[in-house]
Amino acid sequence: MLESDTTRFAQRAKTAGANVTLKMVADSVHVFTLFPFLPETAATLEEIGQWSRQLLQK
């Protein structure tokens, strides 16, 4: 349910002209970013940090 809702939302936003980046993380738990001991958490938070720094430079 959550994955299909997310992909559908992302596609609708793209269609509407929004700049969308969707990264699906395989084999993890919902809200995995709340668990710092998971390896995918550090990588994902770093990507979010890079994305936000790029926005601030514009």
pTM summary value: 0.69
d(CA 40, CA 58): 28
Contact 30, 2 (CB under 8 A): yes
pLDDT by residue for the chain (58 residues), tens only, comes to 688 999 999 999 999 999 999 988 888 888 999 999 998 999 999 999 999 999 899 7
Which pLDDT belongs to residue 27?
85
Q: Cβ-count burial of 1 within 10 angstroms (0-12 exposed, 13-18 middle, 19+ buried)?
A: exposed
Domain range annotation of the chain: 23-58
